[in-house]
Amino acid sequence: MRFRLQLISAAMTVIAAFAAPAAVADKTSEAYVETQANAVLKVLNNQTLSDADRRERFSTYMHKFAYVPDIARRVLGPRARTLSQAEFDTYYKAFEQYAIAVYETQLDQFRGQEIKVTGSRDDDPRRSKVTSLIKSARSGGDIEVVWDVLKSKDGTTYRVRDVGLNLDGSIFWLAQEQSVQFQSFLDRNQGDVGKLVKQINQMTADLRARPAGSPSTIGKASP
């Protein structure tokens, strides 16, 4: 009996030794998401900022949270490897502006709200999925937002890899959905990244020009 207790105790110690770093990663990544996401929302809520200042601060935050070139490459898929540096730079510039415009528009529905982290799980020691809730001013209900977070080698900083929205029980990962759409666009346009860049720039311009509540003209350019 005494031996069995010792064995269980030893097993628990071993499990705890492995479990502890994961739990710590969970809590720190949770805190990271809650702090940084609410900082972004504060920027959106700051009525003293001009549109240009708000966009600049938002852009700064986006680059702090995420390594945008990686996301841009991932979204473009295998074709990213075939581009010259100059071509990639042109695409990246368009992608970055589009991403800022999209997130600005999407996050606008959460103005005046705060994100509350509800839990997380570690996929591995350097990757966590952090789950949070935020009230949408548009629907009045809570929306579940999931953050795919990577931890740096030295464990001091994080990067958001993708953001997922739970829509009626299905998680829609924004970068992933964008990637599928980019592939589809390229497939229908003989893989012409130049056309994709043109389309991205058009969508960014439309997004920026869209007055709230006006009849939409966006998407007309889609082939």
Footprint of other proteins (CB under 8 A): 67, 70, 74, 102, 105-106, 109, 126-127, 138, 148, 150, 152-153, 157, 159, 161-162, 167-173, 176-182, 184-185, 196, 199-200, 203, 206-207, 210, 213, 215-216, 218-219, 222
Residue with Cβ nearer other proteins (47 or 214): 214
Rounded least distance, CB 98 to other proteins, Å: 8
CB 221 within 8 A of CB 116: no
The secondary structure element, H or E, covering residue 143 is strand 142-151
Rounded least distance, CB 10 to other proteins, Å: 33
> Helix-strand-coil percent breakdown of the chain, rounded to 5?
60, 20, 20
> How many whole angstroms separate alpha carbon 146 and alpha carbon 143?
10
> How many whole angstroms separate alpha carbon 98 and alpha carbon 100?
5
Residue with Cβ nearer other proteins (8 or 108): 108
Residue with Cβ nearer other proteins (112 or 219): 219
Joined tokens for residue 89: 């730079």
Residue with Cβ nearer other proteins (120 or 161): 161
Rounded least distance, CB 187 to other proteins, Å: 8
Rounded least distance, CB 152 to other proteins, Å: 5
Token look-up 């509800």 returns 118
CB 161 within 8 A of CB 74: no
